Structure 1
Amino acid sequence: MIPVKRETRLLSVKENRTGNLADVAALISVRNVYSIQDRCLEEEKEEWAYFRLQTVRGGWKIFSLSMGEKPRTGGQNQMITVSPRLDSPMQTRSISQQGYRRDLAVRYADIHWNSPNPQYRYFSEDNCTNFISQCVHAGGIPMEVSNNPGKGWWYQRRGGRGDRWSYSWTVAHSFYLYLKRQRSDGLRAIQMESPEQLDLGDVICYDWEGDGRWNHNVIVTRFDPNGAPLVNAHTINSRHRYWEYKDSSAWTPRTKYAFFHIL
């Protein structure tokens, strides 16, 4: 991999002052352009930079700096309602008789990687599985609807804050378990042995600590010239990111991966 260009943009700033101290959280967008085998590729992601500043002799001095992939909001997984847009219809049409439309799933992932679809709830702390479920459904995989949030794979829009959803739609570990189960219709998947066996629109699950609790999901949206998947995701918003995630603050040497091919 040969670096070609790197661009960084400031998206938003949050500040909290107490006396002569200030805690600043800055959301930044990073765009990397790199070359593999004479082919230029582009990766984008958004991440948080945290500064602690103190007034010194009439000015500000940075005392600490750290990077993170989630906003520090005291652990609250806040549900945010996004204002509707005319160009963001909810994907409800089932085209399962045509098979999984990988092109539509990837198109949805590229449109909404950093622009949430207002037809769904957006979870500020952990939206990764909600986003991947939307992508797969946009590819024509029908929901398995139930009145029990512990069963099926579904999202019900009721307007306002009355929307309901299954655990498998929004929780990373529940989605992993749902993919593992055998079924004759709906969302069916086969677990593969390596990332090179995946296709566009397939899913990778991540167990950061290797403890059997699956924490994160992404969708394959490109491949590099070596055949390695590049993925889109939320939490942190990412587009065409290298699948291993070793640049993530959540990654550990114990991280395990599960590769699922959607049927």
Structure 2
Amino acid sequence: MTLQPYDRQAAVSYAHRWAYHRNPDFYNFDELGGDCTNFASQCLYAGTGVMNYTPTFGWYYNSQYSRAPAWTGVPFFYNFLTRKKEGPGPVGVETSMEEVQPGDFVQLRFVPGPFAHNPVIVAVGSPISLDNILVAAHTEDADYRPLSTYPIAQARFLHILGANH
């Protein structure tokens, strides 16, 4: 497998285009637990152009009923991106807040329990802080929203390295 560059600008442009709307090519999961990771996956796909059709443990979307758990589930998205086994699709690593770039992702925990929200980072200002990292998200639709406006108990940042083709 060859790791291809991630088109961060394409991912961010997609986020801006669809932050307050729903792409009709994808089901809206707002009424089924939230649409944030579905939206994050769409942004990531816009920047990589490759899915992984491995049953159960892949990352793909065909329809509401034909998709991998990683396409719509916060912990599964994380597990897929940080997987050790090489395979097709995007590849990421957990990183520090200081290392994030537009097109990366942040996963948020609001109360003790699992990470429950998955916005895409659309801008990073200086100095790097929760006030200067801006995100786009679905469920509570947002664009250019400062991370500091969320009631965060914990955040983990995912840096996208590229995509295996």
TM-score range for the pair, normalised by the shorter chain length: 0.7 to 0.9
Task: State yes or no: 1:103 paired with 2:1.
Answer: no
| Aligned residue number for residue 52 of structure 2 | 144
Residue aligning to 1:243: 147
Larger radius of gyration: 1
Query: 2-side partners of 1:122 and 1:221: how far apart?
Result: 21
Query: Could you tell me which amino acid in structure 2 is paired with residue 122 of structure 1?
Result: N
Question: Structure 1 residue 153 and structure 2 residue 59: aligned?
Answer: yes
Q: Do structure 1's residue 132 and structure 2's residue 34 form an aligned pair?
A: no
Query: Which stretches of structure 1, 4 residues or more, deviate above 3 A after TM superposition?
Result: none
1:199 to 2:105 alignment: no
2:155 paired residue number: 257
Letter in 1 for 2:38: N
Structure 2 match to 1:222: 123
Higher strand share: 1
1:166-198 CA distances to partner (integer Å, 9 max, x unpaired)?
Answer: 1110111221222232243421111112x2210
Work out the CA distance in 1 between the residues paired with 2:29 and 2:100: 28
CA contact (8 A) 1:229 1:242 kept: yes
How many Å separate the matches in 2 of 1:257 and 1:97? 27
1:234 aligns with 2:132: no
- Partner residue of 2:111 out of 195, 200, 209: 209
In the TM superposition, residue 117 of structure 1 has moved relative to its aligned partner by 0.5
Q: TM-score, normalised by structure 1?
A: 0.54
Residue 141 to residue 199, structure 1, CA distance change in 2 (3 Å): farther
Structure 1 residue 138: Cα displacement: 0.4
Helix, strand or coil at the partner of 1:217: coil
Q: Which runs of 5+ in 1 are unaligned?
A: 1-95
Code of the aligned partner of 2:144: H
Unaligned residue ranges in structure 2 (runs of 5+) = none
Residue number among 50, 66, 73 corresponding to 1:171 in the alignment: 73
Partner of residue 14, structure 1: none
- Identity among equivalent positions (%) equals 30
Say which of 177, 181, 184 aligns to 2:83: 181
Measure, in 1, the Cα distance between the counterparts of 2:160 and 2:49.
9
- Determine the structure 2 residue equivalent to 1:43: none
Superposition map of 1:81-120 within 5 A: 98-120=4-26
- In structure 1, what is the Cα distance between the partners aligned to 2:4 and 2:146? 30
Contact 2:48 2:90 in 1 (8 A): no
Maintained 8 Å contact 1:205/1:257: yes
How far residue 128 of structure 1 moved from its aligned partner, in angstroms, is: 0.2
Q: Name the amino acid aligned to 1:117.
A: N
Alpha-carbon distance in 2 for matches of 1:256, 1:190: 17
